[in-house]
Amino acid sequence: MAHIDKVMRSINQSGENICVDVFVRPDGSFGFEEYRREPEDGRGWYPVGYYSEQRFQDYGAAWEKARKSISWLDEESD
């Protein structure tokens, strides 16, 4: 099945090798995930936080949980 979540916000950590996406699913629930990529590896981004199965009723709740769960996020999103 194709990945059909819609990214609402994407924040890159300095260096642009780690990011967090906050997304909305087709069922209207929200979630987030932390991703990493290696510049020398052409395969792209892969999940490292394994947060994406958590479900939230709105964007604000997902964003707050992401900020509390991922230590570098507050520094990059101000």
- Of the pLDDT bands very low, low, confident and very high (cuts 50, 70, 90), residue 14 is confident
Render the burial of 38-75: b for 16+ CB within 10 Å, e for the rest.
eeeeeeeeeeeeebbebebeeeeebbebbeeebeebee
Reported as a single tens digit per residue, the pLDDT across 32-72 is 999 999 878 778 888 998 999 999 999 999 999 999 999 99
pLDDT of res. 1:
40
Using DSSP, how many helices (H) and how many strands (E) does the chain show? Answer: 2, 4
Going from N- to C-terminal start, the domains of the chain cover 6-77
